Amino acid sequence: MTIKIVLADDHVLMRQGLVQVINTDTTISVIGECGDGVELIEQVIRLKPDVVVMDISMPKMSGLVAIDKLLSQRPDCRILVLSMHNELEYIEAMQEAGAKGYVLKESSSDILIDAIKAVYHGKTAFLANNADTESKPLQRTSPLNVLTRREREVFFLVAAGNTSKQIAGLLTMSLKTAENHRSNIYKKLNVSSSAELIRLAGRAGLLE
């Protein structure tokens, strides 16, 4: 079983180098390469890779927008960002956007391969190995912290695609109560539809 990768970077030389590095590990294989965000989304939908390895600054569509689109199409998509920027703000923004890892382009190939494997196995890999991140460890708070226990149950049922009526049946509550929970959850999480809720759950890594 090999880990299937789609790789996006607009610098062809950089990309070729990366493919070489990644392919030295026999358990990983690059099944698609592209040079901009639009192509990336097209390839991810078509090739269904296990992990997306992508640059942030790309033509046609910025990395941030591309991550957003990718996750709205495939909320369970595992994204590893590969970047030349070692600033804290970049790492935070990518983490908030829903990436699972962040590796610097100047990192050694071991670090990159380890990060790909970690992300594939559902872990996070924010290994920017710079002073910024060491002094201020990133803390990710779960969006579910604002919900009550009952609301969390409803949250997961909504995320699993259940209607209010089905949820009412599953949790033995009235339809009205289920709908109330649902609207409270939407308000607290600032979403307006179940699609948005699923997307948020996907970004927060709650869909596994």
Partner 1 sequence: MKSQQYDATTRIAEIERQQKALRDRLDTEQANLRELARRLWAQQESEKARLSRELHDGIGQLLTGLTRRLQSLSTDNNEFLALTEIAELALADVRQLSRMMSPTILDDLGLKPALKWLCRNLLDAENIDYTCDIALKSDIPKEQAILLFRICQEALVNAVKHSEANRIQISLHQHHQIIRLDITDNGKGFDTAAVEKGIGLSSMADRASAFDAELQLDSKPDLGTHITLTVSL
Decide: is 63 part of the binding site for partner 1 (CB under 8 A): yes
Decide: is 90 part of the binding site for partner 1 (CB under 8 A): yes
Q: Which is nearer to partner 1, 89 or 134 (CB)?
A: 89
Q: In the numeric block, which tokens belong to residue 203?
A: 């970004």
**If you search the block for the tokens 């607290």, which residue do you land on?**
188
Decide: is 35 part of the binding site for partner 1 (CB under 8 A): no
Query: CB of residue 142 vs partner 1: minimum separation in angstroms?
Result: 22
Query: CB of residue 58 vs partner 1: minimum separation in angstroms?
Result: 10
The answer to whether residues 70 and 41 touch, using CB atoms and an 8 Å cutoff, is: yes
- Cα dist from 112 to 18, 31, 34, 101, whole Å: 9, 17, 18, 10
The interface with partner 1 within residues 14-33 (CB under 8 A) comprises none
Decide: is 108 part of the binding site for partner 1 (CB under 8 A): no
Q: Which is nearer to partner 1, 136 or 187 (CB)?
A: 136
Query: CB of residue 102 vs partner 1: minimum separation in angstroms?
Result: 13
Q: Kindly tell me which residue out of 5, 40, 44, 64 binds partner 1, with binding defined by CB under 8 A.
A: 64
Decide: is 36 part of the binding site for partner 1 (CB under 8 A): no
DSSP string, 22-61: HHTSTTEEEEEEESSHHHHHHHHHHH--SEEEE-SS-SSS
How far apart (Å, rounded) are the C-alpha atoms in residues 111 and 124?
13
Decide: is 92 part of the binding site for partner 1 (CB under 8 A): yes
Beta-ladder partners of 54:
8, 81
* Sheet containing 51-54, strands listed edge to edge, beginning at the edge strand earlier in sequence: 28-34, 3-8, 51-54, 78-83, 101-104, 125-126
Q: Which is nearer to partner 1, 83 or 162 (CB)?
A: 83
Where along the sequence are the contacts to partner 1 (CB under 8 A)?
A: 56-57, 62-64, 85, 87-90, 92-93, 106
